[in-house]
Amino acid sequence: MIVKLRIDDRLLHGQVAYSWKSALSYNAIVIASDAAAADEFRKGVIKMCCPEGVKLATRSVEEAAKLINNPKLKDMKVFAICGSPTDANGLLKKLEEKPVVNLGGIQMADGKKLFSKAVYVDEEDLRNLDEIAAAGYTIEVQEVPSTAMAKYADLRKKF
C-alpha cells in the first residue's frame, strides 16, 4: 500500500527520509526515476539516506510501477518518490492504487517560477500536475510534515 507519493527532484535525502518516516511509519521506499535507476553513483547516495530497517528500491518509472503493483508489497507501507511531475504522472497512470500526492521540492532552474516555498515549476510541470489533479488525485504541497500544507488547487488558482 502506498502511504504517499512524493515529488521531490532531490529524491531521497535526510530531511525527507526521517521527517516523513515518523509521520507515515513507512517500511519501504520506492524511488521511481529513469535517471536515478540508470546512475549507480546516485543509487549509492540514495541508499546512504535510507533509514535503517527500511527496504529501498530505485527503479525506472516502468519497473517501479511493476514493483508497487506486485501483490507482495500490498502489506507493506510504501513511500513512493518521483523526481518530477512528469515521472509522477507516468507512474500514477500505471498504478492500481490512488495515493495522495505530496509536492515537496523542485529546485529553481532556468524557465521555472516560484510556485510555493521550495517548489519551482515550468509549463511542463504544470501540465503534468494539472493532469494528475484532473484524474482525481489529491495533491498536497508541503515540504515536511512540520510545515503548513496547502492544496495544489488553491495555489494553482493564484498562480
**13 labelled catalytic:** yes
- What is the Cα 98 distance to its own chain's centre? 13
Please state, in angstroms and rounded to a whole number, the distance separating the CA atoms of residues 85 and 74. Answer: 24
Residue of 10, 13, 77, 94 with catalytic role: 13
Classify burial at 42, counting beta carbons within 10 Å of its beta carbon; exposed 0-12, middle 13-18, buried 19 or more: middle
Q: From residue 15, give the alpha-carbon distance in Å to each of 41, 49, 146.
A: 20, 9, 11
Please state, in angstroms and rounded to a whole number, the distance separating the CA atoms of residues 85 and 91. Answer: 10
Question: Annotated catalytic sites, by residue?
Answer: 13
